[in-house]
Chain A
């Protein structure tokens, strides 16, 4: 007995060993992954390159936009500044015109008194004062010459033709008239004022020296210190007409704005350009800041995209590997299931023996899924003398181990049946065979001795469900004393129950897969079986087929064996 147990254990070990070999292939599949950690030479992924390009593009657009905004605001500010400058310049005209106009009025009133003129004008003339030279010119004479001179000799006095031209044609009475002496040696600006409405009045003429090189920088704290400028006489922007400028070389280059400054009767033209950003250095450097930040962020985004892309590739590879593992598992699972099924079906009788006066039919339904091929079996043995022995059993557990255990229990039962036809004895011997030692399986076995001619049944059960007897439209389960299942304890005793049956009686033995449902008392399943078996008159084959079809649910987890026997009269 002990050796048998060891043999069974051996089967289980073999099953375990085969199970422990399973993971080898999956591991191989995982190992065959390209090692994602060692990248070797780093090469950016396409997505990373694309991200970088897009980043650069966006940065470029932002830089251009901010440049455009900056330029527009600079232009606007520059236009404002040149307008302001022009207004400030224009506002200085009265400070020049007023003393000249007053002197002209005085000259007219005093008949051109040189003394009064000099007395009046002396505070305005001299080094560091407003004018370098002031002179009084009587108009309407054929020979134009100053009648009084204060300060330097006016440049105009040495140019009679120009003086004549100036006073007779270029000037207008009542307004401040301008003329420039822009030769490089002693450049000066001349101002003229004569009172309006007098034909032979006096003109007051003043000169203001210009810097020899025309350069005059604005003071640092001046309101216009951020501007380069050039002031031209008249509407001209020619370098030869420049009065004063802050730059070394004319014309002014770059961004610039100009305005015409009305000054008395004449005009100046002022041209300015910024020597620094008018809107502040931040706005000037904003496009650069955007450019640098944009490039940096593009690089960061590219690196992150690259990482994500790599992770995805890795995940895809991993998924692929898992797929291979899964399909390998499926293959092995199918293989193992098919091994177990093959084994089990090989163990079931191919052809049931035929008996005169008795029909026999059997079905085996495998569990819907899993390698959990059950340990169900059945046998019908000719016991001689018109008797046959029916055995049906169920070894607990599933799979190869259950199938092999079933095989040994079944063959032992067949051997005992060959020696002894009493069902109780067969079961008792089986219980001794399996014993009560340490193993974790049970076998429920039903053993029925069928006497065909005597219409008699002798039944014994080792923990097995009661068989169904159908007579006409009536069906009932055999009531008997259930013994313990095989494997609970050695030397178990079993009770036989003898039943006399009517002609045409059908006897259906089955395993629990036919009636057992989760969440349901067994009696409910038994009643369902009885109702299905008695609902209509069928041939035995039809009946067994119907039960196998209708009572094994789609998700049945257990195998099911059904054996039917019908007396033909």
Chain B
């Protein structure tokens, strides 16, 4: 199996990091869309089983996110506090235009 490469179109790399104070940092790089969203769902499912205080999504390396990706973030936000960190203007605008700025707050 080839190594996942976030620079290749249509691939998503997920990096999980446990932070103190019950936070979990999920760094997403690549593209989050219908074809890659399953991997994120699986990761989040295993993380929420650990009952963290908060999930932080580092989106600095995320180039694209479609409505399926947003849906997973929103679904996660229904279960526990979620924050987005450092989204690109592209992602930021998607969140704004879909009226989700409150549901998916962007860390300042």
Q: Which residues of A contact B (CB under 8 A)?
A: 372, 394, 396-398, 436, 438-442, 444, 461-466, 482-485, 487-489, 512, 516, 518-523, 557-558
Contact = CB atoms under 8 A, between A and B. Distances in A.
B75 A438 contact: yes
Contacts of B77: 488
Contact of A519 (B67, B90, B93, B98): B90
Nearest to A437: B78
A485 B99 contact: yes
A232 B13 CA distance: 101
A48 to B, nearest CB: 37
Given A440-B41, A519-B90, A521-B89, A463 B72 contact: no
B71 interface: yes
B100 interface: yes
Given A440-B75, A488-B103, A522 B64 contact: no
Contacts of B93: 521-523
Given A438-B78, A520-B90, A523-B93, A484 B72 contact: no
B74 A442 contact: yes
Contacts of A519: 63-64, 90
Nearest to A395: B67
B106 interface: no
A393 to B, nearest CB: 11
B73 to A, nearest CB: 10
Contacts of A521: 89-90, 93
Contacts of A558: 66
Secondary structure of the A contact surface, majority rule:
loop
B38 to A, nearest CB: 10
A307 to B, nearest CB: 29
A396 B97 contact: no
B90 A439 contact: no
A462 B34 CA distance: 21
Given A397-B71, A519-B63, A482 B89 contact: no
B97 A465 contact: yes
A482 B103 CA distance: 13
Given A440-B75, A488-B74, A396 B68 contact: yes
A484 B100 CA distance: 5
Interface of B: 9, 31, 33-34, 41, 63-64, 66-68, 70-72, 74-75, 77-78, 89-90, 93-94, 96-100, 102-103
Contact of B67 (A439, A461, A512): A512
A5 to B, nearest CB: 13
Given A440-B72, A484-B103, A488-B100, A518 B34 contact: no
Contacts of B31: 518
B64 A518 contact: yes
Contacts of A512: 67
Contacts of B71: 396-397, 440-442, 487
**8 smallest A-B Cβ distances: which pairs?**
A482-B99, A396-B67, A463-B98, A396-B71, A442-B71, A463-B99, A518-B64, A440-B75
B34 A444 contact: no
A407 to B, nearest CB: 17
Contacts of B70: 396, 442, 485
A442 B103 contact: no
A516 B66 contact: yes
A512 B54 CA distance: 30
B78 A444 contact: no
Nearest to B70: A442
Contacts of B78: 436, 438, 488-489
Contacts of A463: 97-100
24 contacts: A372-B34, A396-B66, A396-B70, A397-B34, A398-B68, A440-B71, A440-B72, A441-B71, A442-B67, A442-B70, A444-B98, A462-B99, A465-B97, A466-B97, A482-B97, A483-B99, A484-B98, A484-B102, A485-B74, A487-B71, A488-B100, A518-B9, A520-B90, A521-B89
Nearest to B77: A488
B87 to A, nearest CB: 11
Nearest to B72: A440
Given A397-B68, A442-B71, A482-B98, 17 more contacts: A396-B70, A398-B68, A440-B71, A440-B75, A444-B98, A483-B99, A484-B98, A484-B103, A487-B74, A488-B78, A489-B103, A518-B31, A518-B64, A519-B63, A519-B90, A557-B33, A558-B66
A398 B74 CA distance: 17
A94 B101 CA distance: 130
